Structure 1
Amino acid sequence: MKKNIPVYDIKYFSAYKNNGILVSRFGTYAQQHTHLHTAHRHSFYHLVFFTKGQGKHQIDFDTFNVSPNLIYFMVPGQVHSWNFTSEPDGYIINFSASYFSSLLLQPDYLSKFSFFSGNAQQQVLHLDEKASSKAIDIFEAILKEGENQQLWNDDLVKTLLLTLFIQIDRTADAAKHLPKNNYNDTILRNFQQLIEQNYAKLKLPKQYAALLYITPNHLNALCNEFLGISAGKLIRNRIILEAKRLLVNLDLRVAEVAFKLNFEDQSYFVKFFKKYEGLTPDKFRKQYISDPYGTK
Structure 2
Amino acid sequence: MKDNQAIHMTEELPDIESNFKIHPFTEGTGCPISDVDEPHLHDFYVVHYVASGSGSCVIDFETYDIIAGSIYFISPGQLHLWNPEGPVDGFVLVFTEEFLKSPEAPVDNVFELDFFNSVLNSPMFMLSTEQKGELAGVMANLRREFSTRKQGYETVLRSYFHILLVSLQRMFFDRLQRPGVRTENRIVREFKKFVSDEHSPQLRVQDYAERMNVSVNRLSSVIKEVTSMTPGQIARNELVLSAKRMLANSEMNVSEICYELKFEDPSYFGRFFKRETGFTPSVFREHVRGKYRQLT
Q: Which residue of 2 aligns with 1:25?
A: 24
What is the aligned length? 291
Q: Which residue of 1 aligns with 2:230?
A: 230
Matched, 1:111 2:107: no
Q: Which residue of 2 aligns with 1:273?
A: 273
Give 1:117-266 correspondences, 5 Å limit.
Answer: 117=117, 119=119, 121-173=121-173, 176=176, 180=180, 184=184, 187-200=187-200, 202-209=202-209, 214-215=215-216, 219-266=219-266
Corresponding residue SS for 1:116: coil
Unaligned runs of 5+ in 1: none
Q: CA deviation at 1:106?
A: 9.7
**Aligned-partner residue type, residue 21 of structure 2:** L
**Aligned-partner residue type, residue 238 of structure 1:** E
Q: CA deviation at 1:22?
A: 2.3
Give the direction of change, closer, same or farther, for the CA distance of 1:105–1:139 in structure 2 (3 Å limit): closer
Identify the range of structure 1 (82-91 vs 178-187) with the bigger mean alpha-carbon deviation: 178-187
Corresponding residue SS for 1:36: coil
TM-score normalised by structure 2 residue count: 0.84
Give the direction of change, closer, same or farther, for the CA distance of 1:254–1:261 in structure 2 (3 Å limit): same
Distance 1:194 1:179 in 2: 25
* Conservation of the 8 A alpha-carbon contact between 2:205 and 2:232: yes
**Post-superposition CA distance 1:262-283 (Å, at most 9, x none):** 2120111111111111101111
**Aligned-partner residue type, residue 139 of structure 2:** F
Unaligned runs of 5+ in 2: none
Distance 2:41 2:127 in 1: 25
Matched, 1:74 2:74: yes
Give the direction of change, closer, same or farther, for the CA distance of 1:4–1:166 in structure 2 (3 Å limit): same
Q: Which residue of 1 aligns with 2:7?
A: 7
Distance 1:187 1:34 in 2: 35
Q: CA deviation at 1:285?
A: 0.8
Q: Which residue of 2 aligns with 1:100?
A: 100
Q: Which residue of 2 aligns with 1:285?
A: 285
Higher RCO structure (Cα 8 Å, ≥6 apart): 2
Q: CA deviation at 1:245?
A: 1.6
Q: CA deviation at 1:215?
A: 4.4
**Post-superposition CA distance 1:39-92 (Å, at most 9, x none):** 111122111011111111111222111101110112222211100123211111
Distance 1:106 1:278 in 2: 43
Q: CA deviation at 1:190?
A: 4.7
Distance 2:19 2:187 in 1: 32
Give 1:51-70 correspondences, 5 Å limit.
Answer: 51-70=51-70
**Post-superposition CA distance 1:159-193 (Å, at most 9, x none):** 21221111111111288498617875565455334
Q: Which residue of 2 aligns with 1:41?
A: 41
Q: CA deviation at 1:203?
A: 4.6
Q: CA deviation at 1:293?
A: 8.3
**Aligned-partner residue type, residue 114 of structure 2:** S
Give the direction of change, closer, same or farther, for the CA distance of 1:239–1:251 in structure 2 (3 Å limit): same
Corresponding residue SS for 1:83: strand
Distance 1:90 1:100 in 2: 23
* Conservation of the 8 A alpha-carbon contact between 2:25 and 2:91: yes
Distance 1:87 1:181 in 2: 37
Q: CA deviation at 1:102?
A: 5.2
Identify the range of structure 1 (129-138 vs 104-113) with the bigger mean alpha-carbon deviation: 104-113
**Post-superposition CA distance 1:222-255 (Å, at most 9, x none):** 2222123222211111111111122124431111
Identify the range of structure 1 (152-161 vs 278-287) with the bigger mean alpha-carbon deviation: 152-161
